[in-house]
Structure 1
Amino acid sequence: MSSHDLSGLVKAYDVRGVVPDPFSEDVARALGAAFARLIVAEGGRSLVTAYDMRESSVPLSRAFAEGAMSQGVSVVEAGLGSTDLLYFAAGHLNLPGAMFTASHNPAKYNGIKLCRAGATPIGQASGLATIRAEAERILSEGAPAAEVPGDISAVDLLTEYANYLRSLVDLTGIRPLKVVVDAGNGMGGYTVPVVLGEGLPLDVVPLYFELDGDFPNHEANPLDPKNLVDLQKAVVEHKADIGLAFDGDADRCFVVDERGEPVSPSAITGLVAVRELAKNPGATIIHNLITSRAVPEIVREHGGKPVRTRVGHSFIKAQMAETGAVFGGEHSAHYYFRDFWRADTGMLAAMHVLAALGESDRPLSSLGAEYERYVASGEINSTVADQAGRVQAVLAAFPDADVDDLDGTTVTFPDGAWFNLRASNTEPLLRLNVEAATDVRMAEIRDRVLALVRATPEA
């Protein structure tokens, strides 16, 4: 394999890898030049960058900027920021953007999330494959410099980002709330004090707000229950009304009620959908196929139009653009807003939940229960060599159920219970999600499917 093969670094939706090998400053420089050449070909002349708190983020983003400037593209550095702050910058300044982050991955990783002006995503099919091929060529052969190099400037957008979010959700008139926020030493520690700070009736109790890319307290991945334990304890200890947990780059947000119990991302999707439908009657709401079937039910009950999509931000954003949807939610706690350039922002979702709670005299456990109608297994991974063969074995066991293959295989039973089996794109894994009306029914389906998935195939 050529030393300039970037296929292991440039993934389906972003760039992600270990620093400095394979993700070195030279590679970042080549990617910056390749991105700049794409921008120039599309008639652009500038881009905006931001970076998270990892030690490698500043040198990598600077190298990327050098590569871009060598091709005549000017770079606006927004500096430290969350991923949704970079999306804000790309929308607000109407510039293509590059965010340097590896989200919740361990300290040795870094990455780049790229978008076009207006925060339109860039994935393999929409420019990332071209950027990768061009960067490989530049690493092998070099790239002629532009006659006039681009320049570099700095802009601080944190206040404007906070003001914009506050213009979308007004928290000034709600009842006082005590809010524990676990930033996991990630970028929420930088954005939360400004967005949820001055002038709002919120008593914020901070957990792990110190920016530290080594993640000394716990991994900044709230999808894993063990990373919510500190937040759950603190909410109960402080007698707080709500707990919020952000991932490393603060584009995802998890919610915990006053008892320390997690509120599922599907319930948050339902709650925010109802608020958006109150402002936009009859609007379209996007949900991925792993979210609870409560979501489309709730959307219809409130006069909206639910549209089901595959898992993944590029599919959600494309569907939102196509349908004019006002909001989209995923089971992984990514939430997308038309008012935020169709980009995902955990902060705006958190503000909607705070507003709903603060406008009600009920506790979050009672409010959230309206949106939790079914019992879900959560995602269960099984290591399987023959993914397709195991899926066929499972299907053979349920000949009378309804099957669809929008994303993996979804099997729905006459009583409304369902399961989805999806193969990982990057690992020999099958991912199982099950939902049913009762614990007993969910466990029955889960255990039966797992037994088939994990059975040793007959020789």
Structure 2
Amino acid sequence: MEIKNIRKLQNGSDVRGVVLDGVPGEVVNFTQDMTMKIAFSFAIWLEKKLGKKAPLSVAVGRDSRISGPHLAQAVALGLVSKGNKVYQCGIATTPAMFMTTVDPELDADAAVMVTASHLPYNRNGLKFFTKAGGLDKEDIAEILELAETVETSFTPGGQAVDCDFIPTYSRNIVKLIREKTKQDQPLATTRIVVDAGNGAGGFFAEQVLKPLGADTTGSLYLEPDGNFPNHVPNPEDKTAIAHITKAVLDNQADLGIIFDTDVDRAAIIDEKGNAINRNGFVAFIASILLAEYPGSTIVTDSITSTGLTDYIESLGGKHHRFKRGYKNVINEAIRLNEAGVETHLAMETSGHGAIRENYFLDDGAYLVTMALIKFSELHNAEKPVSSFLEGLKQPAEEKEIRLKIQTADFKAYGQKVLTAFKTFAADQPGWNLVEPNYEGVRVSCDEMAGNGWCLLRMSLHDPIMPLNIESDSTGGCEIIETALMQFLNQFENLGK
């Protein structure tokens, strides 16, 4: 494998690639040698960024993927070769790895998480943290460029030590919930089922819920298994949601919790088996924060519904709909705060969510922690979880169409389509361009024109134009889609 291909592994603010053979059409492009070089380069970058020389301390964790032990070993080797101290945390979560940098005892200078989130078993990747949070895409580009050119060397003094951080991380969550609820076992007399999808989140049932008094009978797939034999660990996946929904209903649970592989995303299921994810989970967390911080701003990605906007505004909040990409949403929330706009939540419909009081860390476990505090309050008042979002209007229909751009210069072609679409939409009866808008072209449609909205945008990384449509009335999506496709069919290099 040529080292010059390392830069192609960048995926926004992460590193991702194919590490295992076995999937037709997917060739290995991410090796242990490349991983070691990237970790070595991260160590160089870190010295420059922090203004400190080795030995630095770096925590390294991994999710349950079968390639994880080898890549984590390669990361440790790259860091130790530069003379640093490595805390080998084994199976852990992405949020926990950041927390090693702010933990008063461990106080790591940085952290690396070996994960590819919800992607298939043959993929893997790297996420990087300093005490300031996750690295941005510009940082990753700099590290990968360095990895293609730097000559590795050996600096004496480096060491690797085992460090199981998850018990400490879990105790901190338990402590927070007890402090907020003012109860030692606020979940006593409740049944809560967890679906970890054979990822890294199985600890939550044993080390968080049970100490708080919950009965976790009926929980699913808590054991790590990097082959993901039961379903994709993804809170957006319909099969995954079907599994946790069935577990809630079969066990007459009061609440269900589902995590993705590395626990930076999550969703919850109410006692009726209804998934509180996407717009619903954003609304759930927003309502909690708006009660504590009245009038503050909620930042979301671009595909959130008008019903969510109405819900946030009904609670006195402000909805700032921004771009897709969890780092984009988080960075926009940070920017707003710096500009004097009080903002406490940055959250995507995918389940990525970051809260100001939690370092604006993309943390599924913390979102669930907030949900559990509210759940305890509802349970004490003998109110079910399903009662909490009664004011949220859900669309009657929703649809996403992914249009492929079949030309080499796909970004320029996509922009051409968007420019033409904006002109087209402005002339359509009953259609109104939504402003301000920060990604693609968003249009609201009145009752005669579909009674909903649509958004056409460019994918962040791929030659794809996602088209999202929602309608508040049955048949509305078809009305909007028909008009859209009549327009889009004129573009020869754009197809389903």
TM-score of the pair, normalised by structure 1:
0.89
SS at match of 2:375: helix
User: Would the alpha carbon gap of residues 450 and 369 (structure 1) be closer, same or farther in structure 2, given more than 3 Å must change?
Assistant: farther
2:126 is aligned with 1:112: yes
- The letter of the residue matching 1:11 is N
Could you give the per-residue CA deviations for residues 392-417 of structure 1, whole angstroms, max 9, x where no partner exists? 56445422421555122222346783
Q: Secondary structure at the match of 2:8?
A: coil
Q: Determine which of 346, 352, 375 is the counterpart of 1:334.
A: 352
Contact 1:174/1:359 (CA < 8 Å) preserved in 2?
A: no
Deviates more, 1:48-57 or 1:402-411: 402-411
| 14 and 65 in structure 1: CA distance in 2 versus 1, 3 angstrom threshold | same
Q: Distance in 2 between matches of 1:408 and 1:247?
A: 28
Query: Which residue identity is paired with 1:22?
Result: N
Q: State the Cα RMSD in Å.
A: 2.7
Q: 1:346 aligns with which of 364, 369, 375?
A: 364
Aligned to 1:402: 433
Residue number in structure 2 paired with 1:96: 110
| Equivalent in 132, 135, 139 of residue 147 of structure 2 | 135
How far apart in 2 are the matches of 1:323 and 1:192?
A: 36
**TM superposition shift of 1:256:** 2.4
Change in 2 beyond 3 A, CA 1:312/1:295: same
Equivalence map 1:146-225=2 (5 Å): 146=155, 148-170=156-178, 172-173=185-186, 176-225=189-238
| Separation of aligned partners in 2, 1:83 and 1:57 | 13
Which stretch shifts more, 71-80 or 437-446? Answer: 437-446
In structure 2, how many angstroms separate the alpha carbons of the residues matched to 1:102 and 1:430? Answer: 23
Question: Which shows bigger deviation, 209-218 or 198-207?
Answer: 198-207
Q: How big is the shift at 1:3?
A: 4.6
Work out whether residues 81 and 191 of structure 1, in 8 Å CA contact, stay in contact via their aligned partners in 2: no
1:365 alignment partner, one of 359, 364, 386: 386
Q: Distance in 2 between matches of 1:197 and 1:108?
A: 33
Supply the AA of the counterpart residue of 1:24.
Answer: T
Task: Name the CA distance, whole Å, in 1 between partners of 2:441 and 2:101.
Answer: 36
Secondary structure of the corresponding residue to residue 411 of structure 1: strand
State the one-letter code of the partner of 1:241. D
Whole-angstrom CA distance in 2 between matches of 1:436 and 1:319: 28
CA shift digits 1:271-304 (9 cap, x unpaired): 2112122233343322222122333433333333
- Pair 1:167–1:434, CA change in 2 (3 A): farther
Counterpart residue number, 1:288: 301
Unaligned runs of 5+ in 1: none
Deviation of the 1:434 alpha carbon: 2.2
Secondary structure of the corresponding residue to residue 216 of structure 1? coil
Distance 1:275 1:197, change over 3 A: same
1:76 aligns with 2:84: no
Q: Per-residue CA shift, 1:193-230, capped at 9, x if unaligned?
A: 21222232344421111210001111222312123222
Which of 293-302 and 204-213 deviates more?
Answer: 293-302
Structure 2 residue identity aligned to 1:229: A
Matched, 1:26 2:37: no
Give the letter for the 1:410 counterpart: R
Q: TM-score, normalised by structure 2?
A: 0.83
1:166-185 deviations in Å (ceiling 9; x for gaps): 34444633573322221111
2:42 is aligned to 35
Q: Is the 8 A contact 1:91 1:341 kept in 2?
A: no
Greater CA deviation, 330-339 or 364-373? 364-373
CA contact (8 A) 1:381 1:432 kept: yes
Does 1:240 find its partner at 2:253?
Answer: yes
Q: Assess if the C-alpha contact under 8 Å between 1:36 and 1:71 holds in 2.
A: yes
Specify the alignment match of 1:448 in structure 2: 483
Q: CA deviation at 1:135?
A: 0.7
Q: 1:295 to 1:288 in 2, by over 3 A?
A: same
5+ unaligned residues in a row in structure 2: which ranges? Answer: 21-27, 338-342, 407-412
Equivalent residue pairs, number: 453
**Cα pair distance change 1:203/1:107, threshold 3 Å:** closer
2:11 matched residue in structure 1: 11
| 2:60 aligned with 1:49 | yes
Identity of aligned residues (%): 27
Once residues 440 and 391 of structure 1 are traced to their aligned partners in structure 2, the CA distance between those partners, rounded to angstroms, is: 25
Matched to 1:5, the amino acid is: N
Say yes or no: does 1:306 pair with 2:346.
Answer: no
Residue range with higher mean Cα deviation, 388-397 or 265-274: 388-397
Cα distance change on mapping 1:169 and 1:268 into 2, 3 Å: farther
Query: CA offset at residue 149 of structure 1?
Result: 3.6
Q: 2:404 aligns with which of 377, 383, 394?
A: 383
Helix, strand or coil at the partner of 2:11: coil
Q: Which residue of 1 aligns with 2:154?
A: 145
Q: Deviation per CA, 1:369-414: give whole Å up to 9, x if none.
A: 3234444515432334254455456445422421555122222346
- Distance in 1, matches of 2:484 and 2:108, equals 48
Cα contact 1:187–1:249 (8 A) shared by 2:
yes
Structure 1 stretch 300-309 or stretch 346-355: which is displaced more?
300-309
CA distance in 2, matches of 1:441, 1:381: 19
Alpha-carbon distance, 1:29 to partner: 0.8
Find the residue that maps to 1:4 and give its secondary structure: helix
Matched AA of 1:402? L
Compared with structure 1, are the counterparts of its residues 377 and 452 closer, same or farther at alpha carbon in structure 2 (3 Å cutoff)? farther
* 1:40–1:73 Cα contact (<8 Å) kept: no
Mark the CA change 1:335 to 1:64 in structure 2 (over 3 Å): closer, same or farther. same
Q: Are the structure 2 counterparts of residues 94 and 71 from structure 1 closer, same or farther at C-alpha, using a change threshold of 3 Å?
A: closer
Displacement of 1:343 in angstroms is: 0.8
**Distance change >3 Å, CA 110–CA 73, structure 1 → 2:** same
Deviation at 1:60, TM superposition (A): 1.0
How far, CA to CA, are the matches of 1:450 and 1:363 in structure 2? Answer: 43
CA distance in 1, matches of 2:486, 2:402: 13
1:432 aligns with 2:467: yes
Structure 1 CA distance, aligned partners of 2:364 and 2:489? 35
**Equivalent residues of 2:205, 2:216 under 8 A apart:** no
How far does residue 85 in structure 1 lie from its aligned partner after superposition? 1.3
Task: State the SS of the aligned residue for 2:4.
Answer: coil
User: Structure 1 pair 354/427, CA: closer, same or farther in 2 (3 Å)?
Assistant: same
